[in-house]
């Protein structure tokens, strides 16, 4: 009888071990399937960290001492899931595949008017290249949609963005600091278009753009600026622009329209041309307020109606200690 009980006990023990083994294998398979389905349905990469927690990023916890580390373009898009965290690039990022995202519309700008990005993004002097957004007559374009966060030490190269309103880095900067960021590529819009920022209420320091900027064919852009479309307030300092602008609204080598704020110690070498009824200026297209100080323009300016070496049209504002060394042409219709 004792022998029978021992046999039964061993059998139950072995059965329990087999059950636990099968259960663990099944659980692992289930986790793999769920992660795969999540990626296929949302396009958001998931990694399992050493502590067993599931993360949308390569590593990190998102606080200031341990920021989320981003190593690919999908993780970059995943910033949308936590707009208040701290982020850092871990390497250069190639976003070429964004041409195939969202039915060809491309990368979705991070943050919107009701949920803005107000975290930090430290580029670590790495680059993001070949970011693509093509939504033409509607919506907005840029790495960020609405941002009041701090973004620094980052390069965005070979962008292609076509949208109604856009900025290479951000459509709308409602605050915060952009420092040591540069943008290159082709940008086309039908509203407010800026090489770096569409609308700026914040500070832009030590930054530049080298872009080909244009109005969407058949459209009538509101303001095109090599660095900023519309400067509402804030400071642009130690920044510059290169490239070409060809638009149908108010075009400026640095800022399309200045409503307020300060442009200080900055310059433009962009060639500015307009074919609509707006004003074209080497630094600012239309100036209604604000201050331009210690700045200059070296690019050529052509406007069918109004053109100026520094400012195309001035309805207010101050220009101080600034100069122009370009060709400014106005052709009256």
In contact, 78 and 104? CB cutoff 8 Å: no
Report domain extents, the chain: 1-42, 93-330
pLDDT tens per residue across span 141-197:
999 999 999 999 999 999 999 999 999 999 999 999 999 999 999 999 988 999 999
The number of beta carbons lying within 10 Å of the beta carbon of residue 120 is 18
Tokens of 118: 């107000």
C-alpha to C-alpha distance for 98 and 43, rounded to whole angstroms = 11
CA distance to 1, 22, 195, per residue, from 9 (Å): 12, 20, 75
In contact, 294 and 322? CB cutoff 8 Å: yes
Tokens of 81: 């899931």
pLDDT at site 55: 74
For residue 162, which of 235, 75, 99, 237 has the smallest C-alpha distance? Answer: 99
Report residue 305's pLDDT band, with 50, 70 and 90 as the boundaries.
confident
C-alpha to C-alpha distance for 234 and 290, rounded to whole angstroms = 9
Give yes or no for residue 76 having a pLDDT over 80: yes
Q: What percent of the chain has pLDDT over 70?
A: 80
pLDDT at site 34: 45
Fold of 93-330: Pectate Lyase C-like (2.160.20)
pLDDT at site 53: 44
pTM, full prediction: 0.84
In contact, 170 and 159? CB cutoff 8 Å: no
C-alpha to C-alpha distance for 184 and 168, rounded to whole angstroms = 8
C-alpha to C-alpha distance for 32 and 45, rounded to whole angstroms = 13
């Amino acid at each position: 009888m004792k022998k029978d009980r021992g046999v039964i006990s061993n059998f139950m023990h072995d059965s329990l071990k087999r059950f636990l083994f099968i259960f663990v294998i099944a659980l692992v398979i289930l986790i793999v399937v769920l992660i795969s389905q999540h990626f296929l349905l949302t396009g958001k990469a998931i990694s399992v960290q050493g502590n067993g927690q599931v993360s949308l990023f390569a590593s990190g916890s998102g606080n200031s001492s341990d920021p989320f580390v981003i190593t690919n373009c999908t993780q970059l898009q995943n910033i949308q899931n936590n707009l208040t965290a701290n982020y850092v690039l871990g390497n250069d990022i190639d976003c070429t595949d964004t041409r195939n995202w969202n039915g060809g519309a491309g990368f979705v700008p991070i943050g919107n008017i009701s949920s803005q990005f107000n975290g930090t993004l430290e580029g670590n002097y790495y680059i993001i290249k070949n970011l693509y957004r093509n939504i033409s007559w509607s919506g907005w374009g840029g790495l960020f949609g609405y941002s009041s966060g701090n973004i620094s030490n980052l390069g965005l190269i070979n962008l292609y963005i076509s949208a109604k309103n856009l900025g290479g880095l951000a459509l709308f900067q409602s605050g915060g600091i952009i420092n040591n960021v540069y943008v290159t590529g082709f940008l086309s819009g039908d509203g407010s278009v800026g090489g770096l920022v569409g609308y700026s209420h914040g500070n832009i320091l030590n930054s530049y753009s080298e872009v080909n900027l244009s109005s969407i064919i058949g459209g009538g852009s509101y303001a095109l600026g090599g660095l900023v479309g519309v400067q509402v307030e804030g400071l642009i300092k130690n920044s510059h622009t290169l490239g070409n602008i060809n638009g149908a609204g108010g075009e400026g080598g640095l800022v399309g329209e200045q409503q307020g704020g300060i442009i200080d110690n900055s310059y433009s070498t962009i060639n500015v041309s307009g074919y609509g009824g707006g004003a074209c200026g080497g630094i600012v297209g239309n100036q209604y307020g604000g201050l331009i100080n210690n700045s200059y323009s070296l690019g050529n300016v052509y406007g069918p109606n109004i053109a100026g070496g520094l400012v195309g049209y001035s309805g207010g504002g101050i220009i101080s200690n600034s100069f122009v060394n370009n060709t400014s042409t106005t052709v009256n219709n």
